[in-house]
């Protein structure tokens, strides 16, 4: 990898010669500007205002425009001799836990490569010290005309540096959140949790740029004189009127895409809504009520039968006594 900056890491009194190389690369497809009528390239040419002629890159320098429009020339040599220690040095100023770094501050990423054999031992020392401490190093360095903030951390067997924005370069999130007071119910949170669990985790290495692939297909088709592939019909959209229904549908769709059984839909619904009473339970309740009523009816019949029997017996006893009394009198 080609280095973009040569210097040293200042670690107390230890100096580690290093080379700075880009840790990332862009795979995006770039386009040229053309004249729509005939396909001719549109080019930008640089002219000197005073001489009214085109100038080459070797003739172009940099300058600072003052408030009154005066241009003050600034050469690379002027910048190379700035009276600051970070002009050619990555100066470590502190070691802090990694979680203290706000991801909003992170900028471009670089690898720090040891420059030559003498740098191997101090480079390894710093790398192992960072590993054992579970911390990151905060550093200051100068690159492309300005001083920057950086964070050094271990990646594999190398030391990487993330450029950091200065704290005052990160905007506060004022006016971003909704203005109205919104209440989220526990049932909605339960469904959101279920959706998160269903989607699960993903290996970042498995993700790829589908937009770039689609653009490449269009370019290949047009280069071969063929019609570019047609875009699929966009999914039907609209306002979400029922958040619970939308969450339930999302969980169901996510599970189906993972090949899970649709029988789990009942579990999804139970997270957000109370499950309806089961029919079997209703049948059992009805049957139980019928049995109770039958027993009650049988008990009533038995009681009535016993009462009738007692009355009949009493009548017979009274009749016998009356007959016996008449015989005695005669």
Q: Is the pTM of this model over 0.75?
A: no
Distance CA 142, CA 83 (A): 12
Least Cα distance to 150 among 134, 166, 135 occurs for: 166
Distance CA 87, CA 10 (A): 12
Q: Tens of pLDDT along 47-90?
A: 999 999 999 999 999 999 999 999 999 988 887 777 776 668 89
255 alpha-carbon distance from chain centroid: 19
- Contact in structure between 65 and 71 (CB atoms under 8 Å): yes
Distance CA 128, CA 132 (A): 6
Q: What is the dihedral of CA 249, 255, 258, 263, to 10 degrees?
A: -130
pLDDT bucket at 20, cuts 50 / 70 / 90 = very high
Distance CA 248, CA 52 (A): 68
Q: Which two tokens stand for residue 31?
A: 């386009």
Q: Under CATH, which number does the domain 3-25+62-169 receive?
A: 2.40.290.10
**Which of these ranges, 20-24, 75-79, 311-315, has the smallest mean pLDDT?**
311-315
Measure Cα distances from 123 to 130, 131, 176 in Å: 11, 13, 43
Q: Pairing mode, if any, of strands 89-97 and 62-65? A: unpaired
Q: Tens of pLDDT along 35-51?
A: 999 999 999 999 999 99
Measure Cα distances from 205 to 47, 74, 115, 208 in Å: 47, 45, 30, 8
Domain boundaries, the chain: 3-25+62-169, 184-205+240-279
3-state secondary structure of 96: strand
Indicate if the pLDDT at residue 235 is higher than 70.
no
> According to the model, what pLDDT value does residue 256 have?
78
Least Cα distance to 247 among 170, 190, 205 occurs for: 190
| Sequence-distant (≥ 6) Cβ neighbours of residue 35 within 8 angstroms | 41, 42
> According to the model, what pLDDT value does residue 120 have?
93
Distance CA 27, CA 257 (A): 29
**Which of these ranges, 66-70, 105-109, 140-144, 258-262, has the smallest mean pLDDT?**
258-262
Cα radius of gyration (the chain) = 43
**Which of these ranges, 84-93, 148-157, 182-191, 309-318, has the smallest mean pLDDT?**
309-318
Distance in angstroms between the alpha carbons of the first and the last residue of the chain: 146
- Contact in structure between 92 and 139 (CB atoms under 8 Å): yes
Instruction: Tell me which of 175 and 125 has the higher pLDDT.
Output: 125
How many of the other CB atoms lie within 10 Å of CB of 139? 22
Indicate if the pLDDT at residue 143 is higher than 60.
yes
Instruction: Tell me which of 216 and 234 has the higher pLDDT.
Output: 216
Indicate if the pLDDT at residue 250 is higher than 90.
no
**Which of these ranges, 52-56, 134-138, 324-328, has the smallest mean pLDDT?**
324-328
> According to the model, what pLDDT value does residue 37 have?
93
Instruction: Tell me which of 228 and 127 has the higher pLDDT.
Output: 127
- Contact in structure between 61 and 75 (CB atoms under 8 Å): yes
């Amino acid at each position: 990898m080609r280095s973009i900056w040569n210097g040293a890491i200042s670690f107390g009194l230890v100096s580690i010669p290093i080379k700075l190389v880009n840790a990332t690369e862009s795979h995006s497809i770039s386009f040229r500007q053309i004249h729509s009528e005939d396909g001719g390239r549109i080019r930008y040419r640089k002219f000197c205002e005073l001489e009214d002629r085109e100038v080459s890159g070797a003739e172009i320098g940099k300058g600072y425009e003052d408030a009154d429009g005066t241009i003050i020339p600034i050469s690379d040599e002027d910048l190379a001799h700035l009276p600051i220690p970070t002009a050619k040095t990555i100066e470590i100023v502190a070691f802090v836990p990694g979680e203290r770094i706000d991801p909003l501050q992170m900028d471009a990423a670089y690898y720090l490569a040891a420059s030559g054999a003498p740098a191997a031992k101090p480079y390894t020392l710093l790398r192992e010290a960072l590993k054992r401490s579970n911390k990151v190093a905060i550093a200051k360095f100068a690159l492309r005309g300005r001083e920057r903030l950086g964070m050094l951390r271990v990646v594999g067997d190398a030391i990487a540096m993330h450029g950091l924005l200065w704290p005052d370069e990160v905007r506060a999130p004022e006016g971003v959140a909704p203005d109205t007071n919104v209440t989220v119910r526990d049932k909605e949170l339960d469904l959101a949790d279920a959706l998160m669990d269903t989607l699960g985790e993903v290996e970042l290495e498995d993700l790829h740029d589908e937009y770039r692939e689609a653009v490449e297909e269009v370019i290949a088709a047009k280069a071969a004189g063929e019609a570019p592939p047609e875009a699929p019909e966009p999914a039907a959209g609209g306002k979400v009127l029922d958040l619970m229904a939308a969450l339930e549908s999302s969980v169901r769709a996510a599970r189906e895409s993972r090949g899970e059984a649709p029988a789990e839909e009942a579990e999804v619904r139970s997270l957000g809504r109370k499950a309806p009473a089961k029919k079997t339970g209703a049948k059992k309740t009805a049957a139980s009520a019928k049995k109770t009523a039958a027993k009650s009816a049988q008990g009533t019949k038995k009681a009535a039968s016993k009462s009738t029997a007692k009355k009949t017996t009493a009548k017979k006893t009274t009749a016998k006594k009356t007959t016996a009394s008449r015989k005695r009198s005669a």
